[in-house]
Structure 1
Amino acid sequence: MSSKTLSSVTEKHIRHLCLTDFPCGNGSWRKTKDGAEAAGTEDTDALLDLLSCPRSPWWHDLSWSPQAVTLRELSVLSPERLHADFIYNHFTTLRIVDKGVSVIDEGLLKFSKLEELVLSANRISEIPAHNLPSTLKILELRANCLSALNSLTCRPPPLLQYLGLGSNGLGSHDDVSNLTGRQWPQLVCLDLSDCQFLDQKALLSALRTLPCLKTLVLEGNPFTLVPSYPGLAVDTLPLLSCLDNSWVFPEERHRFRGLAKMSDLIMDQASLTVSVGRMKGMPDPLMSVDENTPDFPVVAYSYFISYEFLSHQTPNNLKVDTQAGFDTAHVAEDVSSAADLQSSENCKREASKADAGVLTVYTEETGHVIAHVSKHSTSKLTWSECMDFSDTHIHVVSELGDLKKFLNQGLNLWIEEEKVLSWPAASEDIPESKPNQAVKDKKGMKGRESPIKSTAAKDKSKDKKKKTVLELVQDAPIRRSLGSIHIPLQSLVEGDRKVAVLCNLGFLRTESEMGPTQTHEKDPGKKIKEEKKKEDKESKLRGGKGKGGRNHEADVHTDNLPQPVTVEVSVELEKWQSTSEAHQLLHPHQTSQSPETVSS
């Protein structure tokens, strides 16, 4: 792909101003100075109206520079002043956004009075500082392809007050060392949002040397996911007035006072709490079971929620493919581990499980590799209209870069059903033959001689029979996924601390509704006629097909409509609210002995 220079784009914009064509410039369409009117001439006001009216064919979108508007007006009022040097020196603002610019060439130096340069959403990978005008005060480079700042900081614009570097691949130790007061003595506002900075303490130490820094944007970096952010930034940068588009008030600064002195104890790892609450709308699996079904096998259903979360063993620089992870995790899942599910006490909750699984991920250079994830399942519950799992799990992740990618990708959640078939155990007793009449008489004589003994023998036989019937052998559990949903978590990267959603998985069908019972249904036409006759009969019993009867029938049908399955899920980032809270978490034993808080 051929490179596109910045000067070629700006020259094209200037040519599109048409400064020498109608209604601009000196042409036969202008009235003479003596005021003599000629055919086809226009006065100055009419020409200016043709430039400014949005419905005019000579109106242009000039949002790329405010000076473009005044330049066109000057081309009508004083066209003789428009020579090349005047045009370049007239511009103080250039906004070249999403134009495919990849190279900042020396042609930019023609704009000797340029103060604001906005180059967002282009393809710039390097910023040669020697091609930037020394008068520059605002430089916006958001959403480009920057991966280093060395070329920009070799001779940065000395008067620069605003630097926007958000949404770039910056984050190395060299980048941190290039963000000090030595390179940027006049910098007031710095935007580093949505970059790849991992070391919070190193970056804040460098930014503390900026003598004029008042506004700072850091949200979207991996280190902002740790509990100590933004408290550590507030305490480390005492001159800061605005952080992440929010004012830093004295109350907030007081709450985090002294946190910077504890930086040696602060670890760069994130802690997230995933909570699964109530599930409603699940259809009863035994509702449509045929009454003529045999007694065995005994079928027990239980339900649980599963999701996969990034574990701290995940390698660096990986792109997460959660759908592939779900498939491979199911292959690696140990199904036999749940074979001891209780048949008669399924209503009791089992301990929440976290099984190690595998996740297919893709590197940028090569093909796919396998990374470790944690597959988490809630307790198993038998069916009820409202199943309250009340499951909470804390995930601690030290690979912050991978966690950011995972949160941007989102979390997949599944509702799973487990079915266990139980069969009667094989009896070891020798089957007894039918006794003859003599034996009956003999037993009868024994019964008459000792009625107490006979009764005891009968009870013992009855207990033995009962015990034999209740001894069941369970098959290996059969699991199937009933439905899944994707939960976006990108807002956690963008600064939110909690995502709480009510997941709507729609209408789910139980196994009995999807099973082979459907093959024995009657002819559809006959079935509809029978249902209609039944409804007519019920309507007559309710008092005919009058208005009241129809309303009552509608209410009955409304009550029987299936409800969508919903699950309450929340994901919350741990964030310290004060220095005292951080001290309590970092020094639990010391806090229990002494109630003193940390102060400066």
Structure 2
Amino acid sequence: MSSNKLSAVLEKQIHHLCLKDFPCGYGTWRKTKDSTEGAETEDTDDLLDLLSCRHSPWRHDKSWSPQAPALRRLAVLTPERLHTDFIYNYFTTLRIVDKGVSVIDDGLLRFSKLEELVLSDNKITEIPAENLPSTLKILELRANRLSALNSLTNCLPPRLEYLSLGSNSLGSHDDIFHLTGRHWPQLVCLDLSDCEFKDQRALLSALSTLSCLRTLVLEGNPFTLAPSYPGFTVDSVPQLSCLDTSWISAEERQCFRGLAKNSDLIVDRASATVSVGRARGIPDPLMRVEENAPDFPVVNYGYFITYEFLSHQTVNLNFDRESKSDAANVIEDDADLQSNRNCEKESCKQLMVYTEETCHDVTHVSGHSTSKLTWSECMDFSHTHTYIVGDLGGLKRFFNKGLYLTIEEEKVLSWPAASEDVPLAKPSRPVKEKKSRKGEESPIKSGSTKDKSKDKKKKSVPELFQDAPIRRILGSVHIPLHSLVTGGQKVLVLCNVGALQTESEVEATQTLEKDLGKTIKEDKKKDKESKQGGGSSTKQKNTAASKGKVKGGQECKMDVHTDNSVSVQLEPVTVEFNVELEKWQSASEAHQLLLPQHNSLSKQPVLS
């Protein structure tokens, strides 16, 4: 793969300025003292207008350097000054964005007065510091292909004040080692957003040595999903004035005072609470039940919401391979919120007391669901579950992709058990109708106990056996969660799944479509037969028949439209959904949560 050198790109940009061509530089177009009266020449002011006029073909892009337009003016006013060294020394700012640059070569050293260098959205894999001018104060390398900082810190520009390394694959302990005051003594602003730093304590310990650091951008890193962020950062780097584009107030600094002293209690784990609330607009499955429907099977419908989220497991590595699959402690669905939180706390404790030699943390995406509810116009699932995730990098990727929320319907058919001795007593109404009449008592249960005892020998209530549940996906919607990575704490949405059809409507539509397809095929076959027969009377008959069947086909289409009119008029299905990251609001809140947990862990023996 051929490399695209930075110096070559800069040479092209300078060449496009046309410093020696019209209307710049020397030429017959310039009016001088020695110019003849009949020669076609231009005044200096007219030449300058050609450089700046909006519709002039000699107007060039100046976004890559603010010195470019000034240099062109000099090429018109005093072209004799524009020798090679003067041109290179004239530039103090270079912005080469999205130009495919992959190599910073020593040609950059020709710009001996360069102070600002912006190389965002390129393909740079390493920064040889020896090729950077010593006058550099601003260096922006955002969205490149950097994976290490060792080449950048060998021979640093001593005056560098602003460094942007965001959106690169940085995050190793070696990278943290190169982000200390020993390497960057005058650094005032540092941008490390959207990188892969996971060790919060090690990174902040290094950044606290940057004595001149005032502005820091860390959002988008995996460790920012932990509850201790941003409080732990504010207290660990006291010289900061601005964090993630927000000014740090005196009140905020006071709230988190003392949190850095308890860095041994900080655990890089995220706590995310998922809530599913009320769902509205799901069509009534009994809306089209016929009055003369048979008593059996008895049909029961249930509805629930499913979604995927990360689950955290700890597997004991001392187990043999056969028992590894059973040695997992998974935090998953609990209906009761309080018991769920207690379960998570106990599970989290068990995860933390394992030693590195005896356990291994595994994070994977798994399906979760709410409890099943019978149909109603407004179904409140009241599902709340908190997930403790140790793989912060995996959680970041999961949030960037988002999740899918799905509404499912479960239908269960119940049949009476076959019996030779006892005759079956059919219920007067199926369960379908019983659901629509909640206030009425079932005929099976009505009547006195005495009547039941008298008729016990003659009749008995049939025992019902259930078929395997039949599940059907009613609708699904994607929920973006990227805002949780970029500094947000909560995603609260009212998901719009759209209008749904009942099962009977779907079956009716499919049946009509099949019938219509069969009719069209039969028409085509008869048309072919009529053409092969060749008789005029036969053709006329077939033509008349085909017309009639086309009309019939149109009638079928009209029937389909009429059947679907109910579903079109239904309101869209909406579901309340919420994801919230736990964030400590003060040091005292952190102490209340961490100290009891830390004390209990210290009393427990380490599992082996």
- TM bin (shorter chain): 0.7 to 0.9
Q: CA deviation at 1:530?
A: 11
Match of residue 443 from structure 2: none
Q: CA deviation at 1:513?
A: 1.3
Match of residue 580 from structure 2: 572
Counterpart check, 1:503 vs 2:511: no
Q: Distance in 2 between matches of 1:181 and 1:427?
A: 87
Task: Say whether the 8 Å CA contact 1:314–1:372 is kept in structure 2.
Answer: no
| More divergent stretch after superposition (35-44 vs 504-513) | 35-44
Task: Say whether the 8 Å CA contact 1:407–1:490 is kept in structure 2.
Answer: yes
Counterpart check, 1:468 vs 2:461: yes
CA 1:526–1:21: 2 relative to 1, 3 Å = closer
Match of residue 262 from structure 2: 262
Match of residue 374 from structure 1: 366
Residue from 480, 484, 495 that aligns with 1:488: 480
Residue from 386, 411, 417 that aligns with 1:394: 386
Task: Say whether the 8 Å CA contact 1:298–1:422 is kept in structure 2.
Answer: yes
Q: Distance in 2 between matches of 1:529 and 1:494?
A: 51
Q: Distance in 1 between matches of 2:252 and 2:91?
A: 42
Report the TM-score, using the length of structure 2 for normalisation: 0.77
Q: Distance in 2 between matches of 1:519 and 1:528?
A: 12
Q: CA deviation at 1:587?
A: 2.7
Report the TM-score, using the length of structure 1 for normalisation: 0.78
Which secondary structure state, in structure 1, belongs to the residue aligned with residue 151 of structure 2? helix
Match of residue 9 from structure 2: 9
Q: Distance in 1 between matches of 2:590 and 2:114?
A: 47
Amino acid at match of 1:205: S
Task: Say whether the 8 Å CA contact 1:91–1:113 is kept in structure 2.
Answer: yes
CA 1:570–1:82: 2 relative to 1, 3 Å = same
- Alignment map for 1:191-590 (pairs within 5 Å): 191-313=191-313, 372-427=364-419, 429=421, 459-462=452-455, 467-469=460-462, 471-515=463-507, 519=511, 561-588=569-596
Deviations along 1:37-74, whole A, 9 cap, x unmatched?
Answer: 55321111111110011210000011100111110000
Which secondary structure state, in structure 1, belongs to the residue aligned with residue 152 of structure 2? helix
Q: CA deviation at 1:117?
A: 0.4
Q: Distance in 1 between matches of 2:391 and 2:233?
A: 20
CA 1:54–1:174: 2 relative to 1, 3 Å = same
Task: Say whether the 8 Å CA contact 1:300–1:419 is kept in structure 2.
Answer: yes
Which secondary structure state, in structure 1, belongs to the residue aligned with residue 498 of structure 2? coil
Q: CA deviation at 1:428?
A: 6.1
- Alignment map for 1:62-81 (pairs within 5 Å): 62-81=62-81
Task: Say whether the 8 Å CA contact 2:408–2:473 is kept in structure 1.
Answer: yes
CA 1:56–1:126: 2 relative to 1, 3 Å = same
Match of residue 29 from structure 2: 29
Deviations along 1:73-113, whole A, 9 cap, x unmatched?
Answer: 00001000000000000000000000000000000000000
Q: Distance in 1 between matches of 2:158 and 2:135?
A: 8
Q: Distance in 2 between matches of 1:528 and 1:137?
A: 72
Q: CA deviation at 1:309?
A: 0.6
Deviations along 1:328-364, whole A, 9 cap, x unmatched?
Answer: xxxxxxxxxxxxxxxxxxxxx977999xxxxxxxxxx
Which secondary structure state, in structure 2, belongs to the residue aligned with residue 312 of structure 1? strand
Match of residue 125 from structure 2: 125
Q: Distance in 2 between matches of 1:589 and 1:170?
A: 32
Counterpart check, 1:147 vs 2:138: no
Q: Distance in 2 between matches of 1:50 and 1:314?
A: 71
CA 1:479–1:271: 2 relative to 1, 3 Å = same
Q: Distance in 2 between matches of 1:9 and 1:423?
A: 78
Q: CA deviation at 1:402?
A: 0.8
Which secondary structure state, in structure 2, belongs to the residue aligned with residue 570 of structure 1? strand
Q: Distance in 2 between matches of 1:99 and 1:239?
A: 37
Deviations along 1:400-432, whole A, 9 cap, x unmatched?
Answer: 111111111111111111111111133363569
Which secondary structure state, in structure 2, belongs to the residue aligned with residue 505 of structure 1? strand
CA 1:198–1:583: 2 relative to 1, 3 Å = same
| More divergent stretch after superposition (120-129 vs 508-517) | 508-517
Which secondary structure state, in structure 2, belongs to the residue aligned with residue 150 of structure 1? coil
Amino acid at match of 1:133: P
Task: Say whether the 8 Å CA contact 2:198–2:392 is kept in structure 1.
Answer: yes
Which secondary structure state, in structure 2, belongs to the residue aligned with residue 512 of structure 1? helix
Q: Distance in 2 between matches of 1:17 and 1:32?
A: 23
Task: Say whether the 8 Å CA contact 2:363–2:389 is kept in structure 1.
Answer: no
Q: Distance in 2 between matches of 1:590 and 1:268?
A: 15
Deviations along 1:491-522, whole A, 9 cap, x unmatched?
Answer: 11011111111111111112121226974899
CA 1:491–1:464: 2 relative to 1, 3 Å = farther
Q: CA deviation at 1:456?
A: 9.6
Unmatched 5+ stretches in structure 1: 316-348, 355-369, 433-454, 535-556, 592-600
Task: Say whether the 8 Å CA contact 2:422–2:459 is kept in structure 1.
Answer: no
Task: Say whether the 8 Å CA contact 2:191–2:217 is kept in structure 1.
Answer: yes
Q: CA deviation at 1:529?
A: 9.9
Deviations along 1:199-218, whole A, 9 cap, x unmatched?
Answer: 00100000000010000000
Q: Distance in 1 between matches of 2:365 and 2:558?
A: 55
Which secondary structure state, in structure 2, belongs to the residue aligned with residue 152 of structure 1? coil
Match of residue 156 from structure 2: 156
Task: Say whether the 8 Å CA contact 2:30–2:41 is kept in structure 1.
Answer: yes
Amino acid at match of 1:409: K
Q: CA deviation at 1:371?
A: 7.5
- Aligned residue pair count: 497
Deviations along 1:525-579, whole A, 9 cap, x unmatched?
Answer: 77899999x9xxxxxxxxxxxxxxxxxxxxxx99992111111111111101111
Q: In angstroms, what is the RMSD of aligned CA positions? A: 3.0
Q: Distance in 2 between matches of 1:142 and 1:528?
A: 58
| More divergent stretch after superposition (33-42 vs 568-577) | 33-42
Task: Say whether the 8 Å CA contact 1:31–1:37 is kept in structure 2.
Answer: no
Deviations along 1:441-484, whole A, 9 cap, x unmatched?
Answer: xxxxxxxxxxxxxx998652335667424x32111211121111
Amino acid at match of 1:270: A
Identity over aligned pairs, percent: 69
Which secondary structure state, in structure 1, belongs to the residue aligned with residue 197 of structure 2? coil
Unmatched 5+ stretches in structure 2: 316-333, 341-361, 425-447, 517-551, 600-608
Q: Distance in 2 between matches of 1:34 and 1:380?
A: 96
Q: CA deviation at 1:35?
A: 8.5
Match of residue 168 from structure 2: 168
Q: CA deviation at 1:151?
A: 0.4
Match of residue 136 from structure 1: 136
Q: Distance in 2 between matches of 1:488 and 1:428?
A: 59
CA 1:394–1:430: 2 relative to 1, 3 Å = closer
Task: Say whether the 8 Å CA contact 2:187–2:210 is kept in structure 1.
Answer: yes
Which secondary structure state, in structure 2, belongs to the residue aligned with residue 11 of structure 1? helix
Q: CA deviation at 1:312?
A: 2.1
Q: Distance in 2 between matches of 1:126 and 1:20?
A: 36
| More divergent stretch after superposition (459-468 vs 189-198) | 459-468
Task: Say whether the 8 Å CA contact 2:423–2:458 is kept in structure 1.
Answer: no
Amino acid at match of 1:191: D
Match of residue 324 from structure 1: none
Amino acid at match of 1:564: P
Task: Say whether the 8 Å CA contact 2:423–2:459 is kept in structure 1.
Answer: no
